[in-house]
């Protein structure tokens, strides 16, 4: 890989700025899923084991008001990191100023400091998310080298990634960033064939670029979830009350034509008279959805088709649920697909963040996938073939 890696840096005695992605889900100030913290541990441990002074920072949620601040402190995250590291983490509840500077000046080799949510800088104008030049320069002044391990924010040019990189001598990728670039980048640039892409989610409009890019590279593109109904409509089928982007029907026709047999659509659908977990359901053929009903999941014949399609694949990338995953009665297709891919032998299996990642982790299959991405939006843009600002800002070797 042509980018500078953390293993290329001399860290002993250095103040090492580490942009982590600790944007973890929380409820009542308690972390409900610490996967992103766990994924960052190898990079943090490498810094402190090699004599670096680790200075960690992250965003958490969107912070626009003083009320948002009360719910978005990284203090609980620092506490959880301390438990996972088995080592003291000094938390500084500031994003700049004398207290933070003094704490950094007093850091010893092998110690860990975390400062407050970078998005607190967005309360009086978008200084962090708007990549304010003065803020990027200030944060860069706090360290000697910069390690970016936050792939989840790599699709955005913020002060805490691109801004720091522009004002510091060296920016390297951490181990998690390296892993994301290796697997997702590898799937896009040089996949082992047969290559099967599986795309779910509600809207075609969210994934137009991804579908177009993957049609050039994949041997098969499986489409499920809400966007399948727009493709059904494009073939002249009735979709009842199913979600359907009427303004994207012509585009779906074009994609089917471009795909020339590559696109695999559901052959049967679980339908219900209303959008509710308790609604009575039945299975119909995909071209026989009656008025008054809406499709909420893929049916059993579709799952057989999916199994046949991925059989023998060498690379599989999956992004997005194939049914209404938040309803347990209509999550069965997504869960079955997850289990199918987890047990697929001889393939590189990559899950592209979001609900797909949640499904894999909640079912206990995390270790059975080659890679589960921590970045939803970043994964999608990378699969689309776009250059990511956070990645571009990493120094070349």
Beta-carbon contacts of 34 under 8 Å, excluding residues fewer than 6 positions away, are 24, 80, 84
Rounded CA separation 245/203 (Å): 7
* Distances, alpha carbon 229 to alpha carbons 204, 221, 238, in Å: 10, 16, 9
Beta-carbon contacts of 31 under 8 Å, excluding residues fewer than 6 positions away, are 24, 25, 37, 76, 77, 80
Residues with a catalytic annotation lie at 36, 203, 354, 377
Contact 113, 89 (CB under 8 A): yes
**Residue 151: φ, ψ to 5°:** -60, -30
Contact 228, 265 (CB under 8 A): yes
Question: At what angle are helices 175-189 and 35-49 packed, to 10 degrees?
Answer: 120
Residue 35 tokens, joined: 């996967």
SS3 state of residue 36: helix
Helix (H) or strand (E) run with residue 91 in it: strand 89-92
Residue 323 has a CB neighbour count (10 Å cut-off) of 28
């Amino acid at each position: 890989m042509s980018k500078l890696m953390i293993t290329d840096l001399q860290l002993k005695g250095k103040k090492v700025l580490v942009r982590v992605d600790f944007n973890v889900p929380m409820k009542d100030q308690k972390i409900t899923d610490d996967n992103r913290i766990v994924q960052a541990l190898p990079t943090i441990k490498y810094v402190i084991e090699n004599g670096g002074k680790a200075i960690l920072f992250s965003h958490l949620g969107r912070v626009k008001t003083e009320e948002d601040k009360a719910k978005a402190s990284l203090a609980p995250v620092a506490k959880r990191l301390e438990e996972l590291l088995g080592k003291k983490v000094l938390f500084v509840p500031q994003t700049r100023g004398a207290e933070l500077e003094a704490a950094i000046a007093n850091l010893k080799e092998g110690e860990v400091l975390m400062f407050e949510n970078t998005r607190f800088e967005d309360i009086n104008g978008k200084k962090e998310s708007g990549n304010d030049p003065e803020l990027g320069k200030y944060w860069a002044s706090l360290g000697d080298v910069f390690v970016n391990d936050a792939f989840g924010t790599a699709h955005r040019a913020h002060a805490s990634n691109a801004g720091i990189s522009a004002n510091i001598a060296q920016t390297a990728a951490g181990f998690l960033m390296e892993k994301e670039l290796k697997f997702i980048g590898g799937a896009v640039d040089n996949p082992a064939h047969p290559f099967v892409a599986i795309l779910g989610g509600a809207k075609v409009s969210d994934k137009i670029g991804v579908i177009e890019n993957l049609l050039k590279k994949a041997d098969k593109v499986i489409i499920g979830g809400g966007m399948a109904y727009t493709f059904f409509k494009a073939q002249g089928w009735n979709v009842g009350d199913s979600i359907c982007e009427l303004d994207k029907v012509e585009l779906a026709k074009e994609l089917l034509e471009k795909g020339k047999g590559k696109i695999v659509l559901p052959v049967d659908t679980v339908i219900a008279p209303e959008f509710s977990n308790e609604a009575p359901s039945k299975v119909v053929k995909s071209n026989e959805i009656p008025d008054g009903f809406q499709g909420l999941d893929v049916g059993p014949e579709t799952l057989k088709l999916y199994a046949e399609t991925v059989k023998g694949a060498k690379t599989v990338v999956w992004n997005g649920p194939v049914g209404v995953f938040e309803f347990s009665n209509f999550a069965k297709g997504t869960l079955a697909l997850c289990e199918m891919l987890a047990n697929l032998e001889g393939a590189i299996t990559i899950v592209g963040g979001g609900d797909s990642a949640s499904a894999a982790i909640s079912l206990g299959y995390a270790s059975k996938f080659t890679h589960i991405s921590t970045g939803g939006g970043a994964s999608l843009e990378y699969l689309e073939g776009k250059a990511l600002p956070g990645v571009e800002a990493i120094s070349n070797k």
